[in-house]
Each structure stands twice: as structure tokens, then as C-alpha cells.
């Protein structure tokens, strides 16, 4: 079709829909009547599951950090915390698009957030990549359903995160699992202090300064990590960070609410726009467990640390790695094949990090978390029972052999 004929055809089509459609281009260019700040505030206040309580408009802090043509906006939306023990501010990174008189607003971790961000000219390519990374879904499938039932959990607890300080250093767990906001929600958060007091990103991602002393890093796989009470913190606006990038120092900063009796970082784990129980998740080579409010412990293999104990930051556990857990023993035999009928070809000490090449079923064994017939072939070609390996995943972490 020639250019002239195409124009004529389009004109004919438009005129056929007149007069209502002809008026559309003018209104579509008009600025929305509702301000983006109002739209974001309304959404924030409507999400009591996010804020943990019914907050008032005077408690919100919405900051538009990027804007384009009155049509797109991006920024942070925070509810400051009451001045009570354990409270902390919370909120979201948002992306908004003008639609008619109002705005379509999505918060980080919501499915709509990745979709809206993908279309937005104010979101960087690196942010779009991170936001689009899907999180772990439902419980992982064991190789042979029914062969392996882990009594405590059936999901995917691999975060790929280190602890929020330098790898190789030890800090103190000053408060076991508790809520992020001190009042509601799961026990998503742990308090740490010690060492050089320099708080660092637990995994690569995009960092955002939410509020004074409050930094969020959005990671891949739907995860985000929150850090509060920081002093001398970065001013981040989607800043690309690596695992170990400095975010701020531990402190007693309560500029955005809450209280702190001694310097620490209040560290929280989020997934898919919600705080999630930190229990059972692997972070820095440790698996966290909750026994009560601010009470719990962390395990690295059979090594257990309670409140006040020192946690050595082993760094991030790879998604196809595991930590040998001899269930109180000193080591686990390695075999030449997937079962105790194969020759022992060495042993591996409790707490050792190993890499899994693939898995298959063999003889059945009882470990700390239950009974399984799954065996893992390690990167050195030897095999150990999955009963003695913490991977954070109920099944084969690197496919079947
Ligand atoms: Zn805390």
C-alpha cells in the first residue's frame, strides 16, 4: 500500500469512529488530575499487609526520584514507624504510569511491577533485568515424588545471599528472628552488629535509599533485602551493587521511626512484595531458625549459634551448592556411586561447602531434616546422600544424573 493510500485508509477508519474517538488524542495528552504522589500514597495506605498497620497520610514519605513528561514516575514510598521498640519504617519502590485521570501504580515485588517497569522509559535496562527475574515458585519436585519428604519445609530456600558484612568476618547475632516492623508479619528480620560495623549488600542487585537510615536492595529471583538504623549510608537510586558493596554503617538511626538501644543493622528478608520468614533460608552459609520473638539460632552444618553468638560470614552459597551436615557427626563418607553399596572413596567434613553436579536416587538415609533416597554427585565425581547436605531445596539442585 502506498503512503498516500495508507493515510487515506487510516483517515477513513478514524472518521468511521468519529466523533468520540477523534477527541481522544487531546485528552490523552492532558496531565492526570490526580498527582502521582496522591496515587502512590493511596496505594501505600491501602496495603496494611505491607505497612503492618493502619497508617495516616502524615506518616507517609513519597519521593519521586525520576519522571518523564508527566506520564511516567518512579520513586520510593515509605510509611515511617512509630517510636516503639522494634518498629521500623517500611514501604516500596514504585513505578507509575499516567492513565486517563489517574495513575497505574505498582510496587516492587508485585507481578505488575516488572511488567510496568519493562515499558517505562525511566527504568534502566539493568533494573528491568532484575525486576523480571522470577522468584522460586511452589515446592520443588523431588526426583521421585514420595521418596523424599522433608518434614519441616518443602520449598526453595536458596537465597544466594551472603551475610550483610564482609565475607570471612564474624559478627554477633544480637537479636534472633523477629518482625520487620515490630508489630506484625512474619519473623523476617535479624539484628547484627560487630566487626568493622560496615554493612554490605548480601547479593547483587539494585539499591534504593528508602528513607534516612533505610536501604533496600532488590535482587533477582523475587528477593529483596532491607537494612535499617544505618548511619553514613549511601544515597542510592537504583544503584547497581555487587555482593559486598558498602551500604552504610551500623547505627542507632531512628530518623524514620522505631527505636534502637545499641548500634546494629536491622536486616530483613523480602520476597515478592512481602516480608517472609527468614527461618529455613540460607544466608552466608547459615540457616536461620526461630524459637520465639527475637529468639532463635543459626546453623552451619552441625555448628549452632544462638543469640549473642558469632556468625562467620561464609559468603553466598551457590544455587547448586550445599553445606555438609553430618547431623552431629564430624564427617560424611563419600561414595563411588549413589548408595552405601558403593565403595567409600573418602570423607568430607561437617560444614564443608560442596558443589552438586547432578542427583539421582540410591539408598535411603535419615538426616537432620528427614529421610531421603536422593544422592548427589559432587563436582569431584564422588557421591553423598542428600540426607547429609543442606541445599535449601527439596530435590535435585542441578538436575538428574
Ligand atoms: Zn531488628
Per residue in 357-401, pLDDT tens? Answer: 999 999 999 998 889 999 999 999 999 999 999 999 888 999 999
Cell numbers standing for residue 76? 520510593
CA–centroid distance, 257 to ligand 1, in Å, is 13
Q: What angle do CA 304, 306, 162 make, to 5 degrees?
A: 70
CA–centroid distance, 220 to ligand 1, in Å, is 24
Ligand 1 ion: nearby residues, β-carbon < 5 Å: 189, 191, 266
Domain spans in the chain, listed from the N-terminal domain onward: 36-132, 137-160+318-401, 161-312
pLDDT score, position 17: 44
CA–centroid distance, 94 to ligand 1, in Å, is 24
CA–centroid distance, 311 to ligand 1, in Å, is 16
The answer to whether the Cα torsion of 385, 391, 392, 395 is positive or negative is negative
CA–centroid distance, 258 to ligand 1, in Å, is 10
Residue 173 has pLDDT above 70, yes or no: yes
CA–centroid distance, 86 to ligand 1, in Å, is 6
CA–centroid distance, 300 to ligand 1, in Å, is 22
Following DSSP, what letter does each residue of 228-259 receive, concatenated?
Answer: ES-BS----EEEEE-TT-EEEE-B---TTS--
Q: Which residues of 148-175 are buried (b: 16+ CB within 10 A; e: fewer)?
A: bebeebbbbbbbbbbbbbbbebebbbbb
CA–centroid distance, 317 to ligand 1, in Å, is 24
Cell numbers standing for residue 142? 523431588
pLDDT score, position 184: 80
Cell numbers standing for residue 366? 535419615
CA–centroid distance, 297 to ligand 1, in Å, is 15
CA–centroid distance, 222 to ligand 1, in Å, is 22
Following DSSP, what letter does each residue of 21-79 receive, concatenated?
Answer: GGGHHHHHHSPPSS-HHHHHHHHHHT-HHHHSS---GGGEEEEEEEEETTTEEEEEEEE
Lowest-pLDDT range, 68-82, 147-161, 204-218, 275-289? 147-161
d(Cα 127, Cα 143) in Å, to the nearest integer? Answer: 35
CA–centroid distance, 177 to ligand 1, in Å, is 8
Fold (CATH) for 161-312:
Glucose Permease (Domain IIA) (2.70.70)
Lowest-pLDDT range, 14-28, 109-123, 297-311? 14-28
CATH architecture of 137-160+318-401: Roll (2.30)
CA–centroid distance, 112 to ligand 1, in Å, is 30
Per residue in 303-343, pLDDT tens? Answer: 999 999 999 999 999 999 999 999 999 999 999 999 999 99
Which is more confidently placed, 79 or 4?
79
d(Cα 145, Cα 249) in Å, to the nearest integer? Answer: 47
Assessment of whether the complete model's pTM goes beyond 0.95: no
CA–centroid distance, 15 to ligand 1, in Å, is 63
Cell numbers standing for residue 276? 517472609
CA–centroid distance, 163 to ligand 1, in Å, is 15
CA–centroid distance, 181 to ligand 1, in Å, is 8
CA–centroid distance, 259 to ligand 1, in Å, is 10
CA–centroid distance, 341 to ligand 1, in Å, is 49
d(Cα 85, Cα 261) in Å, to the nearest integer? Answer: 9
Please tell me if the domain spanning 137-160+318-401 has the same topology as the one spanning 161-312. Answer: no
In the Cβ-directed half-sphere of 137, how many Cα atoms lie within 13 Å? 4
| Partners of 98 in the β-ladder | 103
Amino acid at each position: 500500500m502506498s503512503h498516500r493510500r495508507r493515510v487515506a485508509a487510516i483517515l477513513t477508519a478514524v472518521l468511521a469512529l468519529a466523533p468520540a474517538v477523534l477527541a481522544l488524542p487531546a485528552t490523552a495528552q492532558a496531565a492526570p488530575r490526580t498527582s502521582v504522589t496522591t496515587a502512590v500514597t493511596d496505594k501505600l495506605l491501602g496495603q496494611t499487609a505491607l505497612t503492618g498497620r493502619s497508617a495516616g497520610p502524615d506518616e507517609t514519605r513519597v519521593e519521586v526520584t525520576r519522571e518523564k513528561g508527566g506520564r511516567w514516575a518512579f520513586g520510593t514510598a515509605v510509611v515511617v514507624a512509630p517510636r516503639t521498640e522494634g518498629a521500623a519504617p517500611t514501604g516500596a519502590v514504585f513505578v507509575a504510569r499516567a492513565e486517563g485521570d489517574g495513575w497505574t501504580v505498582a510496587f516492587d515485588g508485585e507481578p505488575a511491577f516488572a511488567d510496568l517497569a519493562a515499558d517505562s522509559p525511566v527504568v534502566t535496562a539493568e533494573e528491568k533485568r532484575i525486576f523480571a527475574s522470577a522468584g522460586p515458585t511452589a515446592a520443588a519436585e523431588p526426583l521421585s515424588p514420595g521418596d523424599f519428604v522433608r518434614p519441616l519445609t518443602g520449598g526453595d530456600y536458596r537465597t544466594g545471599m551472603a551475610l550483610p558484612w564482609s565475607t570471612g568476618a564474624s559478627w554477633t547475632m544480637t537479636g534472633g528472628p523477629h518482625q520487620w516492623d515490630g508489630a506484625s508479619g512474619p519473623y523476617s528480620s535479624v539484628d547484627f552488629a560487630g566487626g568493622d560495623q560496615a554493612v554490605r549488600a548480601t547479593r547483587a542487585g539494585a539499591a534504593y535509599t528508602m528513607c534516612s537510615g533505610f536501604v533496600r536492595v532488590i535482587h533477582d529471583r523475587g528477593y529483596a533485602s532491607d537494612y535499617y538504623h544505618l548511619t553514613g549510608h549511601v544515597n542510592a537510586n537504583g544503584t547497581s551493587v555487587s555482593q559486598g558493596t558498602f551500604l552504610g554503617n551500623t547505627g542507632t538511626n531512628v530518623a524514620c521511626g522505631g527505636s534502637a538501644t545499641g548500634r546494629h543493622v536491622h536486616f530483613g528478608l523480602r520476597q515478592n512484595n512481602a516480608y517472609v520468614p527468614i527461618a529455613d533460608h540460607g544466608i552466608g552459609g547459615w540457616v536461620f531458625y526461630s524459637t520465639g520473638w527475637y529468639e532463635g539460632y543459626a546453623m552451619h552444618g552441625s555448628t549452632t549459634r544462638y543469640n549473642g553468638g558469632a556468625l562467620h560470614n561464609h559468603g553466598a552459597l551457590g544455587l547448586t551448592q550445599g553445606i555438609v551436615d553430618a547431623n552431629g557427626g564430624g564427617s560424611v563418607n563419600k561414595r563411588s556411586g549413589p548408595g552405601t553399596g558403593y565403595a567409600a572413596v573418602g570423607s568430607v567434613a561437617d560444614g564443608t561447602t560442596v558443589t552438586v553436579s547432578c542427583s539421582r536416587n540410591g539408598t535411603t538415609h535419615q538426616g537432620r531434616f528427614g529421610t531421603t533416597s536422593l544422592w548427589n554427585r559432587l563436582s569431584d565425581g564422588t557421591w553423598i546422600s542428600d540426607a547429609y547436605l543442606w541445599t535449601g531445596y527439596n530435590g535435585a539442585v542441578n538436575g538428574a544424573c
